[in-house]
A and B are shown apart, each in its own frame.
Chain A
């Protein structure tokens, strides 16, 4: 995984609440055995007409947002299906940060495995950033993971919380399977004790 660096750029506003993973990447694109190439179908049913042409007023089709690296979204982003294809599609499109008041648990975790930072901020802060985002390329937002801050266009800083371990892995691009395998001895000894206690498992 690539190391997460500070992101500074245009943010696309998606104020709709409860954007689910079916919207982010509809099921017909889950029939792949690869992790790559899903960006072309990110938000497919909102972004494209049935004939393949673009829906003109969809945010990521507007010139100002075509290269957006940040999404500012309504409450409960990423709810529904556990499909990791959702962060794969976002990442493949070029999105590196999603900011919202809340995320669904599974989606939130999946982001960190794919170099994407989900940032939870209070409603007042998200409102400010949403307004910035709506100003298109006239407004830039900066997300600094190391210092856990999001800076609005006027320089106002919002501090956000993130789990230390997740932050460490994202900043250093670490593969957590490798880290866990270093603790194989703990797993072995747990397993031995546990199967004596619950042999039916």
Chain B
């Protein structure tokens, strides 16, 4: 019998197209997702070298970063000149190279990491890459998925492979069940709080344990999405009935006999008993609290019941980093996080822009109003999420509460389109990064779950969701 393998080992081994003597591999790529910001230089590189796209049928493109989310966005004038040029470049490249394409006018358009799974492009056991660090999202299906740079985008376009060396294996186990009010977002933020933003560097993380098994696919995508915030190249969750159920019937999932064949193969995608992990972290599900970030790194995270820490609570280079972060965030050590007043709420992004996220937020907002003077917006992750939310009556709940109901895109997660914070504005955001300037110049970001964001919209400050329901 061969040595026991981790889930990562199995997917890796199944995709090595060539291995050199020094262990450098050509890893075959099953799905290549493309968006407008990190691809134009790659397509230009192909043209200059007289090369073409090796597997256009495995390449899926959608504009998401730059696109406006206002209802009038069909009007090209809603975009700045440089954004328009970038989106038009993707239009042209998708057409010229024959890629699968979802233009802004298509109801299926949305954030690339939401569109991929929704359309059944992402399936268990696959290798998935995209010129975007949040490609880790697709690991929720038991697919090896990670972000790449533009040079690597060009490499995959030309060869359908990536030059890679194998990463190490890390296991993150969340035992038991989550307490009420605690979500997948809190799990993933809690793990980063534990490991730090560099704790996963050089690793692929497999998330497992009862609390992970009990998550929906939407929740699992939220967990894997932020693996990169812990430094890990990719996050993985072994596929199970929940996964198969989600994939079944999606437009690009296999059908009939091929579906049966695929499911049989997917059932082998688990970590063997006794397989080796280089690092193991175990967290009790019941110990995880609704969480919120206070600083300018995703590792600056605490339960909502905590107080703002002091630079002296840290060591080494982090002391100065925390001093800088508190200054940037306008917070004082010792202040209760639940006393922090906010003026903006953003619900959306590839972390929390799926239907389940909108349901969780709408549940909190039902019959309530956004506090006077606040700006609150919901940006569904795709046109189809938006349509479903309208059908389920969620959109009306948001609108009645005083939220702006927007079109799909990345929006204020990275503020490349007009959805931005102004200097000094403070936002409760369901996105993934609280870096300086991320949501707008000198904007201040507090990361949290959709339910917590909705609660903050009602009270005007960071709020423990457990006090509100």
Report A's interface with B, CB cutoff 8 A: 15-18, 20, 22-23, 26-28, 30-35, 45, 50, 74-76, 79-84, 87, 102-106, 109-110, 113-114, 163-165, 176-177, 180-181, 183-184, 186-187, 190-191, 194, 198-201
Q: Which of B38, B165, B297 contacts A18 (CB 8 A)?
A: B297
Please give 12 more A-B residue pairs, beta carbons under 8 A apart, in addition to A33-B40, A80-B433, A81-B132. A15-B317, A16-B321, A26-B437, A32-B86, A82-B149, A180-B163, A183-B17, A184-B159, A187-B17, A191-B17, A200-B123, A200-B253
Report B's interface with A, CB cutoff 8 A: 14-18, 20, 22, 24, 26, 28, 30, 37-38, 40-41, 44, 49, 51, 58, 65-66, 80, 82-83, 85-86, 89, 123, 125-126, 131-133, 146-152, 154-155, 158-161, 163, 165, 197-198, 201-202, 231, 233, 253-254, 258-259, 261-262, 265, 297, 299, 316-318, 320-321, 324, 414-416, 433, 435-438, 441
Distance (Å) between the CB of A130 and the closest chain B CB? Answer: 10
B295 nearest CB neighbor, chain A only: A18
B165 neighbours in A (Cβ, 8 Å): 163
Distance of A179 Cα from B435 Cα, bound (Å): 37
Distance (Å) between the CB of B334 and the closest chain A CB? Answer: 23
Distance of A53 Cα from B30 Cα, bound (Å): 48
A34 neighbours in B (Cβ, 8 Å): 41
Distance of A28 Cα from B299 Cα, bound (Å): 25
The answer on a CB contact under 8 Å between B131 and A177 is no
The answer on a CB contact under 8 Å between B28 and A27 is no
B18 neighbours in A (Cβ, 8 Å): 183, 186-187, 190
Distance (Å) between the CB of A100 and the closest chain B CB? Answer: 10
The answer on a CB contact under 8 Å between B28 and A113 is no
Distance of A86 Cα from B341 Cα, bound (Å): 34
Q: A28-B416, A105-B231, A110-B151 are in contact. Are A187 and B201 (CB under 8 A)?
A: no
The answer on a CB contact under 8 Å between A82 and B132 is yes
Q: Which 10 A-B pairs have the closest CB atoms?
A: A200-B254, A113-B151, A190-B17, A110-B149, A33-B40, A84-B149, A82-B147, A31-B82, A17-B317, A76-B198
The answer on a CB contact under 8 Å between A22 and B416 is no
Q: Which of B17, B233, B433 contacts A186 (CB 8 A)?
A: B17
B324 neighbours in A (Cβ, 8 Å): 16
Distance of A50 Cα from B83 Cα, bound (Å): 21
Tell me the interface secondary structure of chain A in the complex: loop
Distance (Å) between the CB of A165 and the closest chain B CB? Answer: 5
A163 nearest CB neighbor, chain B only: B165
Distance (Å) between the CB of A94 and the closest chain B CB? Answer: 20
The answer on a CB contact under 8 Å between A79 and B198 is yes
**Which of B158, B160, B198 has the most C-beta atoms of chain A within 10 angstroms of its own C-beta?**
B198
Q: A16-B320, A27-B415, A163-B165 are in contact. Are A198 and B262 (CB under 8 A)?
A: yes
A33 neighbours in B (Cβ, 8 Å): 40-41, 44, 85-86, 89
The answer on a CB contact under 8 Å between B41 and A35 is yes
The answer on a CB contact under 8 Å between B133 and A30 is no
The answer on a CB contact under 8 Å between B197 and A76 is yes
The answer on a CB contact under 8 Å between A18 and B321 is yes
Q: A31-B83, A45-B441, A176-B163 are in contact. Are A79 and B231 (CB under 8 A)?
A: yes
A-B contact pairs, 6 of them (CB 8 A): A26-B437, A27-B415, A33-B86, A76-B231, A106-B133, A198-B125
A22 neighbours in B (Cβ, 8 Å): 414, 433, 435-438
The answer on a CB contact under 8 Å between B20 and A165 is yes
The answer on a CB contact under 8 Å between B201 and A83 is no
B126 nearest CB neighbor, chain A only: A201
Distance (Å) between the CB of A64 and the closest chain B CB? Answer: 21
Q: A30-B37, A177-B51 are in contact. Are A79 and B436 (CB under 8 A)?
A: no
Distance of A148 Cα from B378 Cα, bound (Å): 51
The answer on a CB contact under 8 Å between A82 and B38 is yes
Distance (Å) between the CB of A103 and the closest chain B CB? Answer: 8
A180 neighbours in B (Cβ, 8 Å): 26, 155, 158-159, 161, 163
B232 nearest CB neighbor, chain A only: A105
The answer on a CB contact under 8 Å between B262 and A109 is no
**Which of A74, A79, A184 has the most C-beta atoms of chain B within 10 angstroms of its own C-beta?**
A79
B123 neighbours in A (Cβ, 8 Å): 200-201
Q: Which of B86, B125, B148, B198 contacts A82 (CB 8 A)?
A: B148
A184 neighbours in B (Cβ, 8 Å): 159
B198 neighbours in A (Cβ, 8 Å): 18, 75-76, 79, 102, 104
**Which of A27, A114, A184 has the most C-beta atoms of chain B within 10 angstroms of its own C-beta?**
A27
The answer on a CB contact under 8 Å between A27 and B416 is yes
Q: A31-B86, A181-B159, A201-B30 are in contact. Are A164 and B321 (CB under 8 A)?
A: no
B321 neighbours in A (Cβ, 8 Å): 16-18, 74
Q: Which of A35, A76, A165 contacts B163 (CB 8 A)?
A: A165
Distance (Å) between the CB of B439 and the closest chain A CB? Answer: 10
A33 nearest CB neighbor, chain B only: B40
Distance (Å) between the CB of B457 and the closest chain A CB? Answer: 25
